[in-house]
């Protein structure tokens, strides 16, 4: 029996919304008006990479939680999702070190990795209580990362408004 619960789906929706909220205006921007002098702006490419890495990390963690809660979790798929999560977390951690604004992010990413590993162990052992506790811990880790998200982006990282 596949347990469909709101928290993993809500976390995935929040991840997508956050990524679009952060990256959307920058992607829609056509650039400065012709003939204007370029202003000293924060590194938008770095901000977009950070937002993308955060969104991918949260999405992979949500997918792991969803797959682990399936009636018959696919351990090979879970291991592949964990590999992708670690890759996205590594990119996010490198971005956080570059930004040097959110010192707690590496600690949060380590906790997320530990909680995902515990969730996978519970899924492998078919421990329903462990899976529920692990999924709850993963969602809590995602929430912690979401609260750190504004600190990851440099101040003034909003895209300039398009000319009227």
Lowest pLDDT segment from 23-37, 79-93, 118-132: 23-37
Identify the pLDDT of residue 72: 85
Identify the pLDDT of residue 118: 93
* Top-confidence residue, 5 or 96: 96
* Average pLDDT value for residue range 34-62: 71
Identify the pLDDT of residue 128: 87
Residues contacting 59, CB < 8 A, separation 6+:
12, 15, 16
Identify the pLDDT of residue 46: 62
| Percent of the chain whose predicted confidence (pLDDT) is above 70 | 60
Closest CA to 161 of 15, 39, 17, 35: 39
Reported as a single tens digit per residue, the pLDDT across 18-46 is 565 565 555 555 555 555 555 545 555 56
Distance of alpha carbon 58 from the chain centroid: 3
Q: Which H, E and C letters describe the chain, residue by residue? A: CCCCCHHHHHHHHHHHHHHHHHHHHHHHCCCCCCCCCCCCCCCHHHHHHHHHHHHHHHHHHHHHHHHHCCCCCCHHHHHHHHHHHHHHHHHHHHHHHHHCCCCHHHHHHHHHHHHHHHHHHHHHCCCHHHHHHHHHHHHHHHHHHHHHHHHHCCCCCCCCCCCC
Please give the Cα distance from 122 to 119 (Å, whole number): 5
Q: Is the pTM of this model over 0.75?
A: no
Average pLDDT, the chain: 75
Highest average pLDDT, of 42-56, 67-81, 139-153, comes from 67-81
């Amino acid at each position: 029996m596949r347990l469909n619960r709101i928290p993993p789906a809500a976390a995935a929706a929040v991840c997508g919304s956050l990524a679009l909220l952060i990256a959307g205006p920058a992607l829609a921007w056509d650039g400065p008006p012709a003939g204007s002098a370029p202003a000293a702006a924060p590194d938008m490419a770095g901000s977009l990479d950070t937002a993308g890495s955060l969104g991918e990390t949260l999405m992979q963690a949500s997918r792991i939680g969803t797959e682990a809660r399936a009636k018959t979790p696919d351990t090979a798929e879970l291991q592949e999702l964990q590999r992708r999560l670690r890759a996205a977390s590594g990119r996010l951690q490198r971005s956080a070190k570059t930004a040097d604004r959110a010192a707690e992010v590496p600690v949060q990413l380590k906790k997320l990795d530990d909680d995902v590993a515990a969730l996978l162990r519970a899924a492998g052992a078919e421990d329903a209580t462990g899976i529920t506790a692990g999924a709850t811990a993963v969602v809590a880790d995602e929430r912690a990362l979401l609260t750190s998200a504004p600190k990851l982006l440099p101040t003034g990282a909003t895209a300039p408004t398009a000319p009227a």
